[in-house]
Amino acid sequence: MKFIGTRGTDSKKTFSEVILNPAAPNGGLYVPEKLPTINENFLIRLYDDRDERTYSSVARAILSLFKIDIEKDLIEKALYTYLKNFDADEVVPVVRIDGNLAVSELWHGPTRAFKDMALQPFGVILSALAQKRGENYLIMAATSGDTGPATLKTFENKENIKVVCIYPHNGTSEVQKLQMVTTNAKNEKVLGILGDFDDAQTALKVLLKDEEFRDTLNKSGIKLSAANSVNFGRIIFQIIYHFWSYLKLLEFNEIKLGEKIDVVIPSGNFGNALGAYYAKKMGLPIEKIIIASNRNNVLYELIKYGRYDLRDKKLIKTISPAMDILKSSNVERMLFDKFGEKRTTELMKSLEENGFFELNGDEIKEIQKDFEADFATDAESEEMIRKYAKKNYIIDPHTATALKAYEYLKEKGKIKNYTVVYSTAEWTKFAPSIYYALTGEDIDREIAEVEENTISDKDAIVYIETNYGVKAPDMIRELFNKEIVNENIIDKSKIKEETLNFLKK
């Protein structure tokens, strides 16, 4: 399989080239020249093999369709991370809630968020390629809270790899921050910036395109790559769990082979949703991909009205901080698939230069063939947390936005199929917000400006464990006793300087 750029390409690239060097020409993103497709027989084979089926075997089957230029033994080593580093036998448990609803839990990896699903195997492949080529790489990662810990975990102490992780100071949960600032791997640097995630992501994109920065790295024998979902090495692994969910519903006799389902995905940077879109394009029977947003609802406005307008928007801090994003990178890949290179370049140029683009009526209809959208306020998310706790199911605030979308759109008659909601993080990562939702304390606070939590993450976790019969995993408990060794708070203008200083050590 070959890869091309969304805004034009100088030459077609292989998967190994794209994973190592994710910056496409003209500021675009790499996408497959042509997606592989499946037929019903493909799903029948996977379903009939249910006695031997594992998450890794499904992943292996999907990856084989892409014909990537990665040796089989390396793919096996990458897939072994699912067996080694996840605490659920199935890797991704699919939990039936009630009626026509199931929740796919993507957070059973080492950092308790869905980013592990892609970054665990991704890290194995990228570092092995670097070692095989005798090359040294700087991996840059910008995070709204989950990509950072997952990147640091997958690359810790890997040879030929250095990592710089950028996160918004005061823009993550306490647990997310502790997962980053307590890392003591010598090949990793964590930088908190005075800004939000969009500032961090923009800074990363600028550095990826900065020729002077690249030249400085090259003189030191270092190449530049990225762990964000701008890297297709992330996206390819995010396609797999949509197939897995469908197969589990078949196994549960909730659906029949070929029957369409709907999926609801909490969305910030659109990578998870893009994985579902690609799975549908490949032939997985998905009818609608429902995008759930918080009050930073740019994706809702895009899908409902065809507008992407940042001109008068400011990022709103919410109880679902991993979705506090206004510039969703992976939208570009969807636009390219729908409308091609010329129109995508035009739209993205307008967004970058004017902070705005607008689709025409036919384009809006084309997007709405595959997507529906909704968003939740913090109060609505808290209501979902309380409601599902009464059903003995504790959810995090991001999953709550998806369940709110499910319930609202089902009531409106816009969801008619069996539905899978994707749970993107374990409750332990946002325990104070769940505590306030469950106790009713602080319930009248201004939704537009979430106040600083007055209960610690540790105390909130203890409360939830004591009263709701759940248990935090050891990797979360241990965070509160770890030494903070990597806390650097800087202005975003200093990222380049701090990165270069780190590389000199």
Whether the Cβ atoms of residue 485 and residue 491 lie closer than 8 Å to each other: no
Provide the pLDDT for residue 175: 96
Helix (H) or strand (E) holding 289: strand 286-293
3-state DSSP assignment of residue 187: coil
Of 350, 292, 293, 291, residue with least CA distance to 316: 293
pLDDT of residue 452: 52
**Rounded distance, CA 250 to CA 227, Å?**
33
Instruction: List Cβ<8 Å contacts ≥24 apart for 213-220.
Output: 213/496, 216/500, 217/138, 217/503, 220/503
pLDDT at 487 (0 to 100): 84
Calpha distance 55→60 (Å, rounded): 9
Q: Which residues are catalytic?
A: 115
DSSP reduced 3-state for 181: helix
Per-residue pLDDT tens over the stretch 381-411: 999 999 999 999 999 999 999 999 999 999 9
Say what the pTM is. 0.94
Q: Which two tokens stand for residue 87?
A: 């605490």
Token code pair at residue 407: 């319930």
What's the CA gap between 280 and 177, in Å, rounded? 35
pLDDT, tens digit, for every residue of 234-284?
999 999 999 999 999 999 999 999 999 999 999 989 999 999 999 999 999
What pLDDT, in 10s, does the model give residues 432-471?
A: 999 999 998 754 444 434 445 489 999 999 999 999 999 9
**Under a CB-based contact definition with an 8 Å cutoff, are residues 196 and 482 in contact?**
no
Q: Which candidate, 300, 366, 297, places its Cα nearest to that of 335?
A: 366
**All domains of the chain in start order, with CATH:** 92-111+234-427 (3.40.50.1100)
Q: What is the 3-state secondary structure (H, E, C) of 91-103?
A: CCCEEEEECCEEE
Spans in the chain with pLDDT lower than 70: 442-453
